[in-house]
Structure 1
Amino acid sequence: MEDDWKKNLATDSYGNPARSISNLRLIFTLDENLSQIRYDTFCQDDVCFCPLFRNVNGNKIDEESAGKIQDYLERTYRIRLTQNKVFEILKTTSSERSFNPVQGFIAQETWDGQPRIATTIIDYLGADDTPLVREQTKLWFVAAVARVFNPGCKFDNVLTLPGPQGIGKSTFFKAISGRWFNDSFSFASGDKEKVETITNGWIIEISELNGLKRANDAEAAKAFLSRCSDYMRPAYGHKVVEFMRHNVFAATTNEMNFLQGDNGNRRWWIIPVKGSGHVSDWLDDLQCSVPQLWAEAYAYYRQGMKLYLSPDMENEANEVQMQHSNILVDPIMEDIEMYLEREVPVQYANWMIPTRLAYQKGAYSEPNSTMTSLNMVCARQIIEELPNDLVRRNPSKYTSQYLNRLMSMFPNWKRSEQEKVKGLHPAYCDKTGRTKYPWVRVDAPSEESCATLPSELELPF
């Protein structure tokens, strides 16, 4: 009865099944063993649930599996096929039996209504219990679900856990990921290697922020994380195809000041962790909770939860990012502080820029001059006048935007409340003689109390 379909196979002059497309389709669709080859829409690979065709690497169909299928067809149906023909037939027949194992993993249980995910990192890794930590954790979990059920949806944030070594940061991500965890990703790899790494993974860990040591690395990471899809040629395929991203990123590090510069750092949702006892104390409990964690996240996804922070929480997250930026350990911070606190002659306002720089470097002075403080500066001024030449040798790093972020670290200075202010050297002003939002000393008597220029400059040389 089960083999009645074989009566529909066309035969050749010898009574054997003909090697026709219709016959092959019937065989690959209805044969009790070949029909167990299904298409995994998550990994985008044919996988076999029949032990006859498995290979040394598991159940993913490869050349070894194709060879076993060739042998099976010849022994069972006296049909000889090339490997290319085997893969060609599988493309159509296995896709009719497609499945997504990660969707099944997420939806394996119905949520019992008890909230868990918001405090998961607090409970197991010792993060501070704050509204921001709860919200970031919840949104990341929901985004992981959204990327599986709606591949390519917009989400480019990386849940980032800085903390001591050995507290279980990587173990946490591996425990919640099922079989779809990958910790071999590196931004230092080529684009092709990065795409291949994430294609079969769901939770992608950037361990120790691998490949993010320079400002240029940060720029490349920003561009890569922003993508919603990637292009590559699949195995045994002839054309480049678009793969919609179905993964989310997490990062772990033992360092505290790990963000490069300040461009693109909004993507890093930073949750410092301290640990919560030995990993063995909580791992079993976490693993038991995993089905309900994803059931809860799936419930929020189906409710249409938005995958971004509120403006207030975004600002709070930016403050946390600044606390973990290498801006705080930038070698020119001390130079800037000395520049801001160094008194200058009252004639300083009249000097050309080279004269100012010479004075700051100690190569020029005016003895017996009345001294005053710099009460108003701008980023361009710091770049031009700072005695440390590093800022001028590395313009790609020390931009005005970056200098403004450095200035925000000094509590005695603030941005002007007025959009455009008079008083700085013409080289730092627009055509109207004003500077846009300069920095003013907090205790300065007025925004134009220092370096107000006379109508004609009197230059020392």
Structure 2
Amino acid sequence: MDNLEHEFEDIKQWQLIRQDRHAPRPLRALPNLTPAELQSAESVDDLLGPVKDGKLRRPRVDQVRKVAELTLPLKYNLLTQRIENDGKPIDGDFLGTLYLQLAEQFQIEVAKERAIDAATLVARQHSFHPVRDYLGSLTTQLEPQQWDALAYELFGLSDPMAHLHLQRQLIGLVARAMQPGCKLDTALVIHSPQQGIGKSTLWAILGGQWFSDSLGDLRNLKDDVLQLHSAWIHEWGEIDAVVGKRESETLKKFLSTTRDDVRKPYGRGVETLLRSCGIVGTTNRSDFIKDPTGNRRFPVISVDQVNTQWAKDHRDEIWGSALAAYRAGTPWHYQAEENEQISKAALSYAADDPLRDQIETWMEDNPEVDSLAMPVLIYQLQPDRLRDPEFSRQVALRLGQLGWTKSQERRRGYLPNGDRHDKATVWHRPSSAPAAPQPSAQQAVSDF
């Protein structure tokens, strides 16, 4: 066992001996190459010399990486966070048996762990992001009037908020590809009571090979987080099944997280992965929003039709326009006033909320009240919870949803029973001015 370079004259004898895993292996001296010669080697034979008499070649430490580079077309996919061999994702078995493949196919002896390290290093040195490459290859865009009325082209809608929602989501998806880990904590939901009109098909067309509808409902958070790092656009089909079952804080955290600590199936430790994907949703239900505190995370476009053929014909132009908007610095986050609009609109898709209904009824019964202190309203609703801070928070959230505004003013006053209350925040009723009418689809088109 001490003479590792023992040579056998009879190769058949060696073949018999090698069946014993503890038998010495026939090795031979390898050529000494300068660093420049090492880098310029174009084949394993250039690097290690030709195979002679069936003797295994054992590369030095500084040659192992070059061996992997010469024998395997490995790349690292930054979107899926996986190593690919000749364009196909590998699994753990590939890396675990790589040292055997090198021995059988190339007569090279490398320790198992060293082979894995070399393959991983080579792949990382050839990293690529397929979505980023796709976006960078685009040379066409939509006409400005088409981009500004994208909801009309896809859904026949002229609602300015629908155009805004689409643009923000698309720009945000581009941002996640170009700038992994950036903030993107909203999930645009396409709603229609009709089935089979193409809601999911639209996202599949736009996402192409980087679309997935396999994201779970967060019951197995570890697997769902890992699944996130497998595609660019994840669709929660029938999003009500997710929103209705998960705790609101779990859902908010999942959407707002920008990086994940995961252990890959073939990995040796925990890795921190930046998210380069976004989430969208579809639903047939009109009561899918269960948590009134998180509805701004789900801007909704309600549609009767989806022009999937137009999306297919103009896919590159759509993404070209979204990329141009991203490069121009167009924000993909909603401003405060836009979030307020989203929250109000989301009430149309909210599940039954007895507390909100109770507040609305009180407002209708007391139209003369333009402002009030919080304790006064709580006393009218549930006097036994007057000193319950959580109930106060829930009432405040619903007042905000219903358009009431919280002022900086704090005042003392009296409750309906005559008791005096301490200083408390004052809320003001929303303006009763009618909203401006929305233009028709035909008017919107004629304005271009």
TM-score by shorter chain over 0.5: yes
Does the 8 A contact of 2:57 with 2:109 survive in 1? Answer: no
* Residue pair 1:63, 1:83 contacting (<8 A) in 2 also: no
Per-residue CA deviations over 1:235-288 (Å, capped at 9, x if unaligned) read 322221111111111111111222223213222222222224xxxxx4333222
Q: Is residue 232 of structure 1 aligned with residue 265 of structure 2?
A: no
Residue aligning to 1:94: 123
The corresponding residue for 1:43 is: 80
Counterparts in 2 of 1:432-447, with a 5 A limit?
434-437=423-426
Quote the Cα distance in structure 2 between the aligned partners of 1:65 and 1:155.
35
Question: What is the one-letter code of the residue matched to 2:64?
Answer: L
SS of the equivalent of 2:267 reads: coil
Corresponding residue for residue 455 of structure 1: none
1:195 to 210, 216, 225: 225
CA distance in 1, matches of 2:85, 2:300: 40
Say whether the 8 Å CA contact 2:154–2:310 is kept in structure 1.
Answer: no
Partner of 1:175: 205
Superposition pairs of residues 61-210 of structure 1, within 5 angstroms = 61-66=90-95, 69-70=98-99, 72-81=101-110, 84-112=113-141, 114-115=143-144, 116-126=146-156, 128-164=157-193, 165-209=195-239, 210=241
State the Cα distance separating 1:384 from its structure 2 match: 5.5
TM-score (norm 1): 0.71
- After superposition, residues 270-419 of structure 1 pair within 5 angstroms as 270-276=300-306, 282-326=307-351, 329-332=352-355, 380=375, 386=381, 399-406=391-398, 419=410
Tell me the alpha carbon deviations over residues 299-332 of structure 1, each in whole angstroms, 9 at most, x when there is no partner.
2222222222344433322321233223xx3235
What amino acid is aligned across from residue 420 of structure 1 in structure 2? R
How far residue 104 of structure 1 moved from its aligned partner, in angstroms, is 1.8
SS in 1 for 2:314: helix
Which residue of 2 is the match for residue 212 of structure 1? 243
Q: How many Å apart are 1:291 and its aligned residue?
A: 1.4
1:424 counterpart residue number: 415
Contact preservation (8 Å) 2:82, 2:90:
yes
- 1:136 to partner: Cα distance: 2.0
Equivalent position amino acid for 2:353 in 1: D
The CA deviation at 1:5 is: 6.0
The 1:103/1:309 distance shift into structure 2, 3 A limit, reads same
Task: Mark the runs of 5 or more structure 1 residues left unpaired by the alignment.
Answer: 51-58, 277-281, 344-372, 444-461
Question: Shift of residue 110 of structure 1?
Answer: 0.9
1:97-148 Cα shifts (integer Å, max 9, x gaps): 221111122223212462344444432234x312222122112111111111
- Residue 106 of structure 1 aligns to a residue whose secondary structure is helix
Q: Which residue of 1 aligns with 2:60?
A: 20
Partner Cα separation in structure 2 for residue 79 and residue 428 of structure 1: 89
Shift of 1:376: 8.1
Name the CA distance, whole Å, in 1 between partners of 2:48 and 2:418: 87
- Which residue is 2:48 aligned to? 9
- Aligned residue type for 1:88: D
| AA partner of residue 162 (structure 2) | V
Q: Give the percent of matched residue pairs that are identical in Structure 1 and Structure 2.
A: 22
Q: What SS does structure 2 have at the residue aligned with 1:193?
A: helix
Query: 1:208·1:254 contact (CA, 8 Å) conserved in 2?
Result: yes
Going from structure 1 to structure 2, the CA distance change for 1:2 and 1:380 (only over 3 Å counts) comes to: same
CA–CA distance in structure 1, aligned partners of residues 158 and 398 of structure 2: 29
Give the secondary structure class of the aligned counterpart of 1:211: helix
Q: Rate the CA distance shift 1:124–1:414 in 2: closer, same or farther, 3 A.
A: closer
SS at match of 1:237: coil
> Bigger CA drift: 67-76 or 260-269?
67-76
1:259–1:265 contact (8 Å) kept in structure 2: yes
Please give the alpha-carbon distance, in whole angstroms, between the structure 2 residues aligned to 1:428 and 1:94: 73
Tell me how far 1:436 sits from its aligned partner: 2.6
Extract unaligned runs of 5+ from structure 2. Answer: 1-39, 433-448
Counterparts of 2:355 and 2:67 in 1: how far apart (Å)? 72
Whichever residue aligns with residue 319 of structure 2, its letter is W
Do the aligned residues in 1 keep the contact of 2:151 with 2:158 (CA within 8 Å)?
A: no
What's the TM-score, normalizing by structure 2? 0.73
Query: Secondary structure at the residue paired with 2:209?
Result: coil
Give the deviation of 1:18 after TM superposition: 1.6
The one-character-per-residue Cα deviations of 1:86-106 (angstroms, maximum 9, x if unpaired) are 322211111122211111222
Change (3 A) 1:8 1:336: closer
SS for the counterpart of 1:47 is strand
SS at match of 1:161: strand
2:406·2:425 contact (CA, 8 Å) conserved in 1?
no
